[in-house]
Structure 1
Amino acid sequence: MSTTTDKAEFERIDAFGVGEPNPYGAYFTGESYLNVLTPQGYAPGVVNVTFEPGCRNFWHIHHASKGGGQLLLCTAGEGWYQEWGKPAQRLVPGTVVCIPPEVKHWHGAAADSWFSHLSVEVSGENSSTEWLEPVSDEEYAAL
C-alpha cells in the first residue's frame, strides 16, 4: 500500500498529480488540492482530489432530479468514506465508491496518510452539490 505523511514523497507516487490548492477549500477541514484531468465542458468531468493527512470534506449531498451522483476511484494513500448513519469505510488504492444522488456523505484522508482519488461527476439533470456541516473532530477521531 502507498501511504506516507511526507508531501514530496506522496507527489512522487500520486500518478495523476497533486495539482493546485482546492478552490472549494472552504468546504474542507485541512488542506486539499485539485488537478482537473478533463477539458472544461467535457462530461463527465474527472478531477484528481488530494487530501493532506487528516483532511476531509464536509458532509455533502449531490442532488439530481434524474441520474447524477459521484464515483470515487482511489489511487494513492489511505482515506475514509462515510454515508450518514452508516459506519465509515476505509479507502485504499483500487477502491471504487459509487455514490448515488441524494446520499449525505463525506470523504477524506486517514489521519496518518496523504490520500488521492479521482472524482467523477455522474451526469444528471438539475445537478448540484449541497455542502453541509463539517465532520467534527470527535466524529473523525472515532474512526
Structure 2
Amino acid sequence: MDIYKSGTRPRTKAPADYFTGDVWQDPVVTAPDPARLRALVVTFSAGARTAWHTHPLGQTLHVLSGEGRIALRGQPPRVIRAGDTVWIPPHEEHWHGAAPDTEMVHMAMQEALDGNAADWLEHVSDADYAIAPQD
C-alpha cells in the first residue's frame, strides 16, 4: 500500500504542446503495473483547454468545480458543470477545458495501454473553441 500525504507531490503546469492557456495538474494516481489507471485533478483557467486528443482505453471526466466545455470532432461543444461526469470512448477525438469566463476543475481518469494513456493531436483553434455550446 502507498499513502501519498496531501501536499507531498508537486503540482505541475500542463505542457504548452498539449494545452492552451494556464492549466495545472495535481496527480492522484499512476498505478503500478499490472494496473493501468492514471488520474489527475486538472485546473483550467478561464478559456484554457486541451488540444484535440484520444485515449486508447477511453477516459472519464468528473467536474469538481466551475463550468467547462467538451467537444467531439465535428460536433459543437457541450457545457459541463460541477457534479457532471463524462465518459469518452476509446479513440474518440475530443477536447475539454474551461468556459471562456470561468475556471473549471475536473478529475481526469484514464487507463494506459502499453504505457500510453493519451494520443495528442493539434491544438483547438480559437474559432472552434468559440462555437456556441449546447447545454
Does residue 61 of structure 2 align to residue 47 of structure 1? no
Structure 1 unaligned segments of length 5 or more: list them. Answer: 1-15
Q: 1:131 aligns with which of 113, 120, 125?
A: 120
Which of 63, 88, 94 aligns to 2:77? It is 88
Secondary structure of 1:26 counterpart: coil
Q: Secondary structure at the match of 1:45?
A: strand
| SS of the residue 1:106 aligns to | strand
In structure 2, stretches of 5+ residues that fail to align are 1-5
Structure 1 24/122 Cα, relative in aligned 2: closer, same or farther at 3 Å?
same
Percent identity between matched residues is: 34
Distance 2:123 2:14 in 1: 17
Decide which of 16, 26, 50 is 1:25's aligned counterpart. Answer: 16
Letter in 2 for 1:83: L
Decide whether aligned partners of structure 1 residues 59 and 140 sit closer, same or farther in structure 2, where only a CA change above 3 A counts: same
Q: TM-score, normalization: structure 1?
A: 0.76
Q: Which amino acid aligns with 1:36?
A: P
Q: Determine which structure has the larger helix proportion and give its number.
A: 1
Cα shift at 1:113: 0.4
Q: CA RMSD in A?
A: 2.3
Partner Cα separation in structure 2 for residue 98 and residue 34 of structure 1:
20
CA distance in 2 between partners of 1:53 and 1:73 (Å): 18
Query: Whole-Å Cα distance in 2 between the matches of residues 126 and 43 of structure 1?
Result: 8
Count of residue pairs the alignment pairs up:
123
